[in-house]
Structure 1
Amino acid sequence: MNRRTLDTVDTAADHYARGDWQAAYDAWSRTGPDALSAAELECFAAAVGLVGTHDEVVAVRQRAFRAHEAAGDLHAAAGCAVRLSMDLAEHGEHALAGGWAARAAELVDDIGADCVERGWLAFLLMFRALGEGDLVEAERLVHEAYDTGRRFHDADLTAMGTCARGRLSIMSGRFAEGLAQLDDAMVRVVAGELSPVMAGHVYCTAIEGAQEVSDVGRVAEWTAALERWCDAQPGLLAFTGQCAVHRGQLMRLRGAWDDALREWSLAAERYVALGSTPAIGLTALETGDVLRLRGDLAGADAAYQRAADLGVDPQPGLALLWQAQGRSAASVAAVDRLLASPAGPVERCRTLPGSVEVLLASGEVERARPLALELESLASAVGAVVLSAAAALAHGAVELAAGDAAGALPYLRKAHQLWTQSSSPYDAAVTRLLVGRCLLALGDTSSAQRELAAARAAFRQVGAAPMADLASSLLAPASLPGGLTAREVEVLRLVASGRSNPQVAAELVLSEKTVARHLSNIFTKLDVASRTAAAAYAFEHDLV
């Protein structure tokens, strides 16, 4: 190796030590992999993983593996094989990932003695057990990995094991234990104990765990920490996509929907650069949910289709879209499939709120009631404010749909308080709209008007046009013409605006039979024989 090459290698090492991954990557790239030692190739692979592409990471790490193997360093070769397996599995190349895991197992057997690589192998095998649905074996393996990390003072393995234990505890319904373990893992990251790549993995895995159970407080705190960590590393590409996704999720909750859509678009661009297909599907799913709430049903449909094409289940968002399109039967069938599928508590946290909404919109009140109770039980176990708010909202909606407006109000008041505490203006407005409906049913028109007007203002502010229109339809004058009730005016306004019976049912959270009954009463009271004549009456009396 000539003097110039040595200087370049030394410069790359200096950049790497300072955390300037882009400069280190550029210097090692100029040198070329043939001039690098096995240890330098390992560092080069780490730098590529942080600023470069997946294919390049694999190529450089394979070179490092061969160099370690040629030098007879079984420990380093086994560690390299483990990391190759992890890289490949993360990008969906499961056959190759399995091959490298088998290679790592062979090398660990050749080493024979207890070693830290055996713990990393257990960590790999945990994912296989998870894929087979064997949580008991997965927990055994992750405990083995964690214990090995502690025994050999391997900070990366200890933190990754701690984080994985947390996720498995949450998946098993041990929420408090799992969240405490994620806290433990995050402390290790913030303390600077981990290598850069493993630090990024722990950040993202912990945030995803908190997101799954709607622990917005932890998501916000950890996303801010991840953002600071990303910003401190020049040229960093890896993990910045995840950071953008989580920022977007928080923006959506807080009503900044335009900003959220921009963040997800940015995240998708970064995921494309990294070749992470499932993650791109996640950004499409999030985008579809916001477009649906905005009333862009065609855009939402396209986003959900993209998510499905990339292997991400778009439910229950897609079922809610079908409900908005008046496709009640398809919507309920999708929810039936979700509810019948084997699912752990984490998945139920995600699907229950939407399932309750679909069933109530289809008039299936008694089927929705036990789901609201289940959601309440999960919320109590998790202790997250957002999940508790969703459970209270579900209970209130069920009682209102069952005709008990007075019984619904305490649940809805609690839900509004919790949504406000969570800084979620859209969900708080949905709750206020339901409160307004309760007050209308109880004859307190003036109070109802105040709630509905506040809800409409909030919907308009976030851009939720369909819900703003619904609030407007409920804001009927105190003295209604033709002997119509407030609910009949709601139905008449939507019919006059061109809605079909299924669409009216979806917007007012009624069954189609109930809508048909209201329409029959309207025809009788107004002495008209058609929807056209009823619509004309609505326009003549300024009801639209």
Structure 2
Amino acid sequence: MTSLSSAQAALDAGSWQVARTEFLAVTKETADPLAYEGLAQAAWWLDDGIMCVGSRETAYRRHRERGDALGAARAATSLAWDSLLFGHGEAVALGWWTRAESLLDGLEESAEHGWHAVREAELASDVGHDPERALTAAVRASAIAHRLGLEDLEVVGMALQGVALTSAGDVTAGMTKLDASVAAATSGDIADPMWMGKVCCWLIIACNRNKDVTRAADWCRRVEAICAERNLTPLFNVCRIQYASVQVARGSWSEAEEELTGVIERLSGSQRASRLDAVVQLGELRRRQGRVDEAKALFAQAEFHPLAIAGLARIQLANGDAVSAWAAIRGLLDRLPQSSRVLRADVLHLGVVVAHAAGDGEQAQLLADELRATAETTRTDSLLASASAADAVLVSAAAAVPLLLEAVRRFNSAGLQFDEAHTRLTLAEALLATTDESAAQHHLALATEVLTELSADDDLALARRLATAAGAPPEGQLSARELEVLRLVSQGLSNPEIAASLVLSEHTVHRHVANILTKLDQTSRTGAASYAIQAGLL
């Protein structure tokens, strides 16, 4: 006969399939609610949302039948998060959390009280976007852990304090707590691999929110190694989504696309809400690439996700519908409390642009002021850059130039290639308005080189229009990379051969060749090579 202890041993060893089989056998022989709790945890790791939630509900009922309020509260607390995780909705999640709260009321303080506070902090962060409540709950969890001598709970509580602090704009204090928590979690202070992994993921997410892409990438690699070593597939998928987000921000778009399409395929049958995170990230990548119809289809799969709302608003603005774009962004900002400063900051620059375009200058100024205040609090390069770019929207072209130069410098320092190149286009427009064509041409050339590498079609089209307005000669528009490609074209190499030589994708080479033909006003590769030789470009 399979025993509960052997099933638990399999779970502790990370043998998820064996654990599920053994816990299932135990449930057929006994009504012990602990068997259902173990079965739920094994199903969690196997991404079986139906079995996970169903087993937790059965555990809750069995504890209630036995008159065990503490056990029932533990099951209800787990259901509060798993209901949200597997797509049962926020109302169900909050309902289970409240039920657990009522069961714990009046009971002697225990570990269950601390983990209940942890789930409150998670829900406050992810559902309520309320860092103040999240911080209060996380502090309470750590205090309970300290009194009861529960080291793993104390580390988790400290990590959630870090999440709340960074969300509220206190990046230095928040990242300090997260760094300490991850160091403890990865060195063995947290026995449960789920909580170890979650602590690491929180750090990566915080890095992403603050656009600390180098740090996020470093931690992604570390966590991936742990996930691979210990067969932590659900956490591995979350990590890959976060890593892809880093790659989108850094401009490594081919790698990001490969990661996101892979995760979406792996999660095709999953009920986890994290699948939508991958979908909207791919949608944002498609938007930046100028593949608008694909972006809209992806955003439609997650219409209430903040990134999807912002992405669709950008598309509406590009299509000349500033009023609809402003309505969407205003609605999104209304959902995010003022205390959630970093999450709001992600939207504020766009809010300034669309409000100004829609003729709401007063609101545009208020949003710009809020973004500047948050940027000065966090002192991160990415937010300081966004604040300067937002301020530039509301002033004359002459006054905008130094602000946009500062934004370009800050985006460069943050390693955000696309944002830097996009801002250079805006800077070029301002320079042209002040009749400084030479400086405009300089920034257009730098922007065009990056945008060509990224195949950012819409921004490239804008760059060409601005280059024409700046009076740049066709040959002056070729980037360094385009000259490399042109040199190989003149040697008779095919696109696949050029791709292999320069370590690029064939798609990128095709885009380079197309840009070269357009810029040199030629219709064939032979014509472009001949023109370049005659013009002394090669």
| Cα distance in 1 between the residues matched to 2:451 and 2:358 | 23
Q: Cα deviation per residue 1:451-489 (whole Å; 9 max; x = unaligned)?
A: 2122112111101111111111122387699xxxxxxxx
Give the letter aligned to residue 120 of structure 1.
Answer: W
Contact 2:129 2:337 in 1 (8 A): no
Q: Cα deviation per residue 1:21-61 (whole Å; 9 max; x = unaligned)?
A: 345445655x4533576656544433321123122123444
Give the letter aligned to residue 433 of structure 1.
Answer: L
With over 3 angstroms needed to count, the CA separation of the structure-2 counterparts of 1:478 and 1:241, relative to structure 1, is closer
Task: Give 1:464's aligned residue.
Answer: 456
| Cα distance in 2 between the residues matched to 1:373 and 1:99 | 38
| Cα distance in 1 between the residues matched to 2:350 and 2:194 | 36
The partner residue of 1:257 within 237, 253, 257 is 253
TM-score (normalised: structure 2): 0.75
With over 3 angstroms needed to count, the CA separation of the structure-2 counterparts of 1:160 and 1:474, relative to structure 1, is same
| Cα distance in 2 between the residues matched to 1:466 and 1:79 | 52
Q: Cα deviation per residue 1:54-103 (whole Å; 9 max; x = unaligned)?
A: 22123444555566677777655543442233322433355654565455
Q: 146-155 vs 101-110, which deviates more?
A: 101-110
Task: Give 2:403's aligned residue.
Answer: 411
1:333 partnered with 2:327: yes
Task: Give 1:233's aligned residue.
Answer: 230
Correspondences of 1:446-485 after superposition (within 5 Å) = 446-476=438-468
Contact 2:440 2:470 in 1 (8 A): no
Structure 2: gaps of 5 or more residues: 474-520, 522-538
Task: Give 2:278's aligned residue.
Answer: 283
1:205 partnered with 2:202: yes
Task: Give 1:434's aligned residue.
Answer: 426
1:154 partnered with 2:154: no
Question: RMSD over aligned Cα, in angstroms?
Answer: 3.7
Task: Give 1:424's aligned residue.
Answer: 416
TM-score (normalised: structure 1): 0.74
Q: 138-147 vs 471-480, which deviates more?
A: 471-480
SS of aligned partner of 1:343: coil
SS of aligned partner of 1:114: coil
The partner residue of 1:293 within 285, 288, 294 is 288
| Cα distance in 2 between the residues matched to 1:460 and 1:420 | 17
Q: 236-245 vs 454-463, which deviates more?
A: 236-245
Correspondences of 1:350-369 after superposition (within 5 Å) = 350-359=346-355, 361=357, 368-369=364-365
Task: Give 1:177's aligned residue.
Answer: 173
Task: Give 1:305's aligned residue.
Answer: 300
The partner residue of 1:223 within 216, 220, 224 is 220
The partner residue of 2:193 within 181, 192, 196 is 196
With over 3 angstroms needed to count, the CA separation of the structure-2 counterparts of 1:453 and 1:95, relative to structure 1, is closer
Q: Cα deviation per residue 1:392-438 (whole Å; 9 max; x = unaligned)?
A: 33334544xx231xx33333333222222232221121222233334
Contact 1:69 1:77 in 2 (8 A): yes
Paired-residue identity, %: 27
With over 3 angstroms needed to count, the CA separation of the structure-2 counterparts of 1:135 and 1:449, relative to structure 1, is closer
The partner residue of 1:392 within 370, 388, 393 is 388
* Residue correspondences, number: 471
| Cα distance in 2 between the residues matched to 1:433 and 1:132 | 37
With over 3 angstroms needed to count, the CA separation of the structure-2 counterparts of 1:54 and 1:334, relative to structure 1, is closer
Deviation at 1:226, TM superposition (A): 2.4
Q: Cα deviation per residue 1:183-233 (whole Å; 9 max; x = unaligned)?
A: 333222222222112222223333333333333344333323322222112
Task: Give 1:186's aligned residue.
Answer: 182
Q: 132-141 vs 79-88, which deviates more?
A: 132-141
| Cα distance in 1 between the residues matched to 2:130 and 2:421 | 42
Task: Give 2:497's aligned residue.
Answer: none
The partner residue of 2:211 within 198, 205, 214 is 214
With over 3 angstroms needed to count, the CA separation of the structure-2 counterparts of 1:454 and 1:175, relative to structure 1, is closer
Q: Cα deviation per residue 1:370-390 (whole Å; 9 max; x = unaligned)?
A: 533432321221122222222
Structure 1: gaps of 5 or more residues: 482-541
Give the letter aligned to residue 225 of structure 1.
Answer: R
Deviation at 1:147, TM superposition (A): 0.5
| Cα distance in 1 between the residues matched to 2:305 and 2:336 | 18
With over 3 angstroms needed to count, the CA separation of the structure-2 counterparts of 1:322 and 1:45, relative to structure 1, is same
